[in-house]
Chains A and B, each alone.
Chain A
Amino acid sequence: MATSAKIALVTGAGTGVGRAVAIALAKAGYSLVLAGRRKEMLDKVAAEINAVGSQALAVPTDVSKRESILALFATVKSSFGRLDLLFNNAGIGAPPVPLEELPFETWQNVVATNFTGMFLCTQEAIKIMKDQKPRGGRIVNNGSISAHAPRPFSVAYTSTKHAITGLTKSTSLDCRKYDICCGQIDIGNAITPLTERMATGDGVLQPDGSKKIEPRMEADHVGNAVVYMAGLPLDTNVLFMTVMANTMPFVGRG
């Protein structure tokens, strides 16, 4: 696919934050590679991107499988020849259960998707970015407010999101010599299918055992944040940004 536009790869692009970021990047002039498990969802996002005049290539991908990630990046290279931005976004949650009762398979699946998959995507992106001309690129990792504070009964999700902070810092440190920037966006309560449960019924479990409806914010603001981060020159980096619903329970204690 011949293009003079910058190339961005978004994982988990079929819905939610990934979709919002992909569309915001397309409006900013990027050509998109859309990765996700469900092809029909990717095709819908690709159609939305085409409608704003940008290119989009949908690549069904399961980031919990290394061979799937290798195939994704081979497609990026063969289709566009370069990669300017990776938005490492794909992630899953797990049903809230007491820590000691979390099934081992659930733990492994969350770690494989949220953390190992992100690490492997980072490795493959670096291989392309450090050898391409012009050299370099940017990696933005989707952390979470859960990279700072856990929700009750969320050990797998919270552990992987805390681990992403280490991945962000190590990638930033080890890859700056290649003109690669790595930053992290920690998002609180964006309006997506994943957070629908926060706004319906009794809401979601709080640390004191109660349930509460929580405020949410438009996911478009996350898209605009990533566009800002992506638009910086490669001598400048947003290492961390926390964007959240202003009145969601996070700041404060008790």
Chain B
Amino acid sequence: MEADHVGNAVVYMAGLPLDTNVLFMTVMANTMPFVGRG
């Protein structure tokens, strides 16, 4: 996936007021091997 999407994710996280937090976000290539098992 394009790294720009990560940039936009961080911009979203950074833009939140300090009473609100993104504790975790997983952003990934949709078809990369991660979800699932053999």
Contacts and interface: CB of A to CB of B under 8 A. Distances in A.
Contacts, number: 85
Contact of B22 (A169, A231, A243): A243
Interface residues of A, number: 32
Contacts of A240: 24-26
Interface of A is mostly: mixed
A246 interface: yes
A215 interface: yes
A58 interface: no
Contacts of B17: 218
Interface stretch (A101-109, A205-213, A221-229): A221-229
A239 interface: yes
Interface in B5-29: 5, 8-9, 12, 15-29
B21 A236 contact: no
B9 to A, nearest CB: 7
Contact of A239 (B19, B20, B28): B28
6 contacts: A172-B35, A232-B27, A236-B30, A241-B26, A243-B16, A243-B22
Interface of A: 169, 172-173, 176-177, 181, 215, 217-218, 221, 224-225, 228, 231-247, 250-251
Given A225-B22, A245-B21, 5 more contacts: A225-B12, A228-B8, A228-B9, A239-B28, A242-B24
